[in-house]
Every structure is written in structure tokens, then in C-alpha cells.
Amino acid sequence: MPANAEIRFTSPAESETVVTEGVINLAWEATGDQESAVFELQESSAAAFPEEKSRIRYRGPDRGSVVSGMAEGGHHFRVRAVKADGTASEWSAPVHVEARYIPKEKVVWLLSMGGLVFVATLTALFAGHFRSLSGKEME
């Protein structure tokens, strides 16, 4: 890759962002001689991108990728161009994405309340049905 080749993220616009649904749309642009290059998008749980905590999430010609199914916690992404002869550009500046979800206690509470409403609704329906069968009306 030429020394003037540069790749930078265009989405997200900030170098640090928070997602609450486990999905992020990453997009990048390349300057310099990037014709016929494929791009490698690398993800790591550590900012230093150690090999044992990193993996290639995308390799191809597109200048963007949707990453889904993100576990709760921090995720670091960077991208580079790789030419057909194997030469690679420098990695882009990394983007840090923090995936946060609803606390488990809140989920359990909401599901419990939904269950109680469901049981109360069924009870009211059956009680009304049995009263109508026996000829008794509600007073």
C-alpha cells in the first residue's frame, strides 16, 4: 500500500459509542490507491488487539459491515485494506463500541408483571364465562 493510503471510519462518527440492541453499522472510507483492495474488519475485546482476543469479522470489497449479536461489554474495531498481492495498509484508528442491555433484574420484573396480568386476564375471562353458563349475572 502506498504511504499516503488511509482508511477511516465514517460510521459511527465518534470513536466511542454505545449500543443497546447488540447491533452496530460500521462504515469506512479509503483514500489513496485502494483499487481492487479487499477490506479486513477486525474485532477485539481489548484495545491493544492481542491475537488471542481478536478476530476478523469481515473480509471483502464492501466499505461497511453490520455487526450483530454483540455480547454485553466493550468491543474494539479497526479496518485495513489488503491488495491482491497480499500487501496491507496500516490499520485504521480503532472505534470502541460499548454494548449495554437492560439489567436482568428489570427483565425478570417485567416478565413477572406480564405473567401476573396474563393470569388475571384468564381468571376474569373464565369467571365471566362460568357465570354466564350458570345464568348468574354479575351484580
Q: Which is it for strands 95-99 and 73-82: parallel, antiparallel or unpaired?
A: antiparallel
Eight-state DSSP code of residue 135: T
Q: Which residues contact 55 (CB under 8 A, 6 or more apart)?
A: 42, 43, 44
The CATH number of domain 6-99 is 3.90.930.60: no
Question: What's the 3-state SS for 72-92?
Answer: CEEEEEEEEEECCCCCECCCC
Residue spans of the domains in the chain: they are 6-99, 102-139
pLDDT digits (tens, 9 = 90+) for 80-105: 999 888 888 899 999 999 999 888 88
Q: How many helices (H) and strands (E) does the chain have?
A: 1, 8
Say what the pTM is. 0.72
**pLDDT score of 124 more than 90:** yes
C-alpha cell, 87: 500487501
